[in-house]
Structure 1
Amino acid sequence: MLKEAIFHSPKSNYAYAYNEKTLHIRLRTKKQDVASVDLIHGDPYKWDGGSWNYETKPMKKIASTELFDYWFTSLEPDFRRLRYGFHLTGDETIVYTEKGFYPEIITHDTADYFCFPYLNSEDVFAPPAWVRDTVWYQIFPERFANGNKANDPEGALPWGSAEPTPTNFFGGDFEGVIEHIDHLVELGITGIYFTPIFKATTNHKYDTIDYMEIDPQFGDKETFKRLVQVCHENGIKVMLDAVFNHSGFYFPQFQDVLEKGEQSKYKDWFYIWDYPVQTEPMPNYDTFAFTHMMPKLNTAHPAVREYLLEVGRYWIREFDIDGWRLDVANEVGHDFWREFRKEVKAIKPDVYILGEIWHQSMAWLQGDQFDAVMNYPYSHAAIQYFAKEEISTRDFMYKTAEALMMYPENATEVAFNLLGSHDTPRILTVCKDNKEKLKQLFTFLLSSPGTPCIYYGDEIGMNGEQDPGCRKCMEWDTTKQDRELFDFIATLIRLRKEIPAFGNHGTFQFISDENDKHVMYTKTFENETLLFAFNNSAEVVTVPIPFDLKGRKVTHLLTGDEFAYEAEKVEVTLPAHGYVALKL
């Protein structure tokens, strides 16, 4: 048994409070090195005749990666305290504790065991419950719909009359969203994520001039308030995008520094290296990347901090928004985010705080900063596998398992899963216009743990290369929309809402062989099991179903067809890039 591979850490994604009563415990071992694991557990203060009173509970292998297996169990400690260790069986039998390895269970002392001192309710990571069942729709406001031509920016082009560029405008606005709210309701959307709406010079608005004002091309505050109200009346939450890492070049405070240099009262709002301030050939101040148009904000400065905290409070307090998506969140100090969370949650406890982080983000998901991050590692593996065919079934399973083990389950349930955005090529284009691959990806996305997001237009088959190509005007001519694709995605969303196992209530488990060209997984909730199978090849494959279905009713969820099988062994034939979702 390779002891170097065995790992556990309390108060982490390996041991955490799932709710006020339940602890989740995970253990990592070398792949295929351990046959079984039992959790040794007990209250640290329960003794009998000088011997610690402990119990054991079998752990289940829930995931495997290229190097490791992961084991899991949950339990409800009687007094919310726990000492625990692990009894592992393989080519030898050992006991793993915080202090190392032992040949047998220790009962004369608990000091060497792992400790979960007390399950304090205030320490439980508790993201908003509503997010678990939300299906998001990302809107790039300038390109969704033009409902009021009177507020079009100067030089705005007729809708869809040209290819998007980094500098052109088409007049998308809030009225356009209000006019087309029925489109979102029909699709089944329950949350809208808007890219920035605040005053800025660009079409993307990530170069904020005034965080307290709406850009005039989108409408005014009364129109926005009406938009939020219309969304709420239709069961749709509203999340805004804010850039607190950096401002725009024309942010008045930065302009004051450019004008007055060291004499500016705002000079410490930014990271100025020396004076005079220069932008060419390289800026002599910290920026987002090396973009002189986006000077980095000093969020440790009290005045900057209070200004930005009031931004967070204001739009919740005055407009009743439901969430903040935070741009370049990993480059802002943790201390600022801790205070930000306290301030906005004090106004609306169930507001959703989402950080834009593209990498492993456990440091931000301790319950004191974000509720979730944009779950790029999870969706990237699916895109590599289904769309690009760059990785094998084996690697797809490994990468997906790694992403699922990266965070506690209560964080994974609200992780923001997406196939495309304003920062990436359109997912249909990534699929090289292969709609069956696209359907596979949406089936995977909408049956995955997490809170899924659809980028505007993807549901009707819009395509486009990397920015600016992915920012085309929404196509509202229904004769040019792929309505069959729309109906397919709407069906997936409906199934996610109606069947608990389909979404966040189901436990995800791969059941494929690593060498297959197809992939299968189950979603299980209580006595209900769903089976998903995907053919990731251009050839027809026949997939054996690894369950005894004799005498059982099986429902094909995507067609509604029902079957009762009499044979013990059942196979399913999948066409090229085909897929099936079965309810057993």
Structure 2
Amino acid sequence: MSGVINRYAVLHINSGTYAYAIDSHTLCIRLRTAKNDCKSVIVHYMNVYDHSTNRKKENMAKILQDEHFDLYEAKISQKEKHFKYFFELIGEKEQVFYTSDGFMGNEVKNENSFFFPVINDDEIYKLPKWAEGATVYQIFVDRFNSSCDKGFVNADWNDKPLRSHFFGGDFKGIEDKLDYIKSLGIDIVYLSPIFSSATNHKYDIEDYYSIDEMFGGRKELSNLIKSIHKKGMRIVLDCVFNHMSSNNKIFRDVLEKGQNSQYKDWFYIHDYPVSMEICNYDTFAGCVPSMPRINTSNRDAMEYLVNSAVYWTKELGVDGWRLDVADEVSARLWRHFRTEISKVNSEALIIGEIWNDASKWMMGDQMHTVTNYKYRKWLLDFIQGKIDAVSFWNKMASNKMLYKTMSYNYLINLLGSHDTKRITSVVGKEKAMLALLMTLTYQGIGLIYYGDEIGLIGMEDPDNRRTMPWRKISEHDTEQFRQLALLKKQYPSLKYGRMRPVTDYRNIISFERIMPDQTVEVYVNFSDKDVEIKDRVLLFNYPEINKVNTSINCIKALSFAICIKNQKGGYGK
């Protein structure tokens, strides 16, 4: 650190993730600087309509650090909802002010300030409290559990799946296993698409207003959702608005009537007549004729799709939606979707399937959270020895900098899904179990893809959609998850606490989950060597799950541990 502040690295924008309202009188303000460039940062602020120099001050906390930058944050409140502010940066050799007019010396005038003119009620960033730090169980319905024999089944339950296979999993089969699901500490059951379709995956919907009879139809789905709610869990359904089935009557009308179809503008037609053979229209992934891409900017298409989700939210008591291929659907549709769904269920959780930077969809008017595939990428790179722990934390910090702090306890951290290789097939069962335990204690919403908890294997689709081998599953196979679920109830910091990386170790992942009255530490050793740590009291250990409430100073090879660092109020006694 030279002592001279690197002006090129300093960044603030008076909107987006750098300035946003968290309640009717409070702003969350951020400033980026070069890594380790400042000893402290202070935000000076006052009412827009106060023309004096009687400014308030708030020290900003360094909340994130990656390879190149530090991110500072402060919450500033005042009775008036009108804000103007600027920053004071203190380095080793200089002190400067950063304003909307750039860098200044000691004299900053009010008109040099950044302005946040007013906090309007509909601009306050809100998230469903019930979903904070939750655990999701993702079910591919056809492969989870079958309640009865069915005529359309064309494979034995334990066969390796082909794309054409139907195994007969259904809603009643899921209902029969809710005690098992609940025992894993699950808060949210997320189902793959359940609307009428001729395929096993049903991501090509033929009728948005019909529940597929292969799975049991509307009545059985309603029974399942009621049972899920009775168990104290929530239900999330899969919403497929980017494309539909070529057998959907809407697209069939276009195939039959061409330019005379009332639905021709619902799709991206290149020329007429429309032909599935030459595929002269846009499709999902650019090459799937059976899945024509919907023009979600078309007002009529937009209303039809959104109204279907509103209908089912109201009729079935749906608690949330996962939005398939969310980054290819019109932003205007998602804004309309959120507005209309919120009218029916103001606490409904909206999850976007987005694999990269999703910040533009998480400004507060579209999605509450997204699938955090970057977590999967960088954790796998660490486990496979491609990066060390320092690099892992740098990458994760860079990713978190994209999002508002309030969303950190909501990002969907996942190790696999129906679109990826199974985690056990990638890193082996021992390391897969450690990774899954880490995911369930990491800051955010942890997702278990059905079967990952028992080490189910599978490579690319359709192999990653194997059936649950119920006859081979014993209580011993999932004991660690039941014990962890109990511990998370006893130590709420594992669910709601903020996270601080522990960067003392290059070869293991360690982090703290922190609440004002409680701090716990998580250690994950994916290596084949023991690692010494400071003396700690062990709360949870895997694979030796019974060795708890003892003092330890070592994390054994291929093991996972949760330790208590400090605590007030007697939790765990």
Give your verdict on TM over 0.5: yes
d(CA) in 1 for partners of 2:497, 2:280: 52
1:264 and 2:261 aligned:
yes
Of 290-299 and 441-450, the range deviating more from structure 2? 441-450
Matching residue within 421, 442, 445 for 2:436: 442
How far the C-alpha of 1:383 sits from its partner, in A, is 2.4
Matches within 5 A, 1:509-524: 509-513=500-504, 516-524=506-514
How far the C-alpha of 1:483 sits from its partner, in A, is 4.0
Matching residue within 39, 45, 48 for 1:41: 45
What is the match of residue 568 of structure 1? none
Query: Structure 1, residues 190-211: CA drift from partner, whole Å, max 9, x if none?
Result: 2111010111121111111111
Contact residue 501 and residue 529 of structure 1 kept, 8 A: yes
How far the C-alpha of 1:5 sits from its partner, in A, is 0.5
Matches within 5 A, 1:96-495: 96-104=98-106, 106=108, 109-149=109-149, 152=150, 154-160=152-158, 162-280=159-277, 282-289=278-285, 290-386=287-383, 388-433=384-429, 435=430, 437-477=431-471, 480-481=472-473, 483-495=475-487
The SS at the match of 1:143 is helix
What is the match of residue 555 of structure 2? 574
d(CA) in 2 for partners of 1:23, 1:447: 29
**Aligned AA for 2:104?**
Y
Query: Structure 1, residues 344-379: CA drift from partner, whole Å, max 9, x if none?
Result: 111111111111111111211122111111111233
d(CA) in 1 for partners of 2:489, 2:46: 39
Contact residue 143 and residue 172 of structure 1 kept, 8 A: yes
How far the C-alpha of 1:138 sits from its partner, in A, is 0.4
CA RMSD, 1 decimal: 2.0
**Aligned AA for 2:208?**
Y
What is the match of residue 22 of structure 2? 18
d(CA) in 1 for partners of 2:87, 2:401: 19
1:556 and 2:539 aligned:
yes
Give the direction of change, closer, same or farther, for the CA distance of 1:301–1:489 in structure 2 (3 Å limit): same
Of 242-251 and 31-40, the range deviating more from structure 2? 31-40
| TM score, norm. by length of structure 2 | 0.92
How far the C-alpha of 1:178 sits from its partner, in A, is 1.1
How far the C-alpha of 1:250 sits from its partner, in A, is 0.8
d(CA) in 1 for partners of 2:255, 2:169: 32
The SS at the match of 1:96 is strand
How far the C-alpha of 1:26 sits from its partner, in A, is 1.9
**Aligned AA for 2:53?**
W
Contact residue 464 and residue 471 of structure 1 kept, 8 A: yes
Contact residue 137 and residue 189 of structure 1 kept, 8 A: yes
d(CA) in 1 for partners of 2:125, 2:478: 36
Query: Structure 1, residues 22-74: CA drift from partner, whole Å, max 9, x if none?
Result: 32222211112222212222233345xxx411132222222211111112222
Give the direction of change, closer, same or farther, for the CA distance of 1:563–1:52 in structure 2 (3 Å limit): farther
The SS at the match of 1:71 is strand
d(CA) in 1 for partners of 2:74, 2:466: 47
**Aligned AA for 1:577?**
L
The SS at the match of 1:531 is strand
1:29 and 2:33 aligned:
yes
d(CA) in 2 for partners of 1:84, 1:563: 51
Query: Structure 1, residues 230-271: CA drift from partner, whole Å, max 9, x if none?
Result: 111111111111211111111112122222222323222211
- Structure 2 unaligned residues grouped into runs of 5+: 566-573
The SS at the match of 1:324 is strand
How far the C-alpha of 1:423 sits from its partner, in A, is 0.7
| TM score, norm. by length of structure 1 | 0.91
Query: Structure 1, residues 105-138: CA drift from partner, whole Å, max 9, x if none?
Result: 52xx312112222233321121211111431100
d(CA) in 1 for partners of 2:32, 2:558: 34
What is the match of residue 59 of structure 1? 60
**Aligned AA for 1:258?**
L
Query: Structure 1, residues 449-498: CA drift from partner, whole Å, max 9, x if none?
Result: 22221111111221111211111111111xx2364451112222333333
How far the C-alpha of 1:279 sits from its partner, in A, is 2.9
- Structure 1 unaligned residues grouped into runs of 5+: 565-570
What is the match of residue 9 of structure 1? 13
Q: How many residues align?
A: 555
Structure 1 segments (4+ residues) deviating >6 Å? none
**Aligned AA for 1:406?**
L
**Aligned AA for 1:527?**
D
**Aligned AA for 2:510?**
M
**Aligned AA for 1:510?**
P
**Aligned AA for 2:489?**
K
Identity among equivalent pairs (%): 35
d(CA) in 1 for partners of 2:509, 2:303: 50
1:85 and 2:86 aligned:
yes
How far the C-alpha of 1:404 sits from its partner, in A, is 2.0
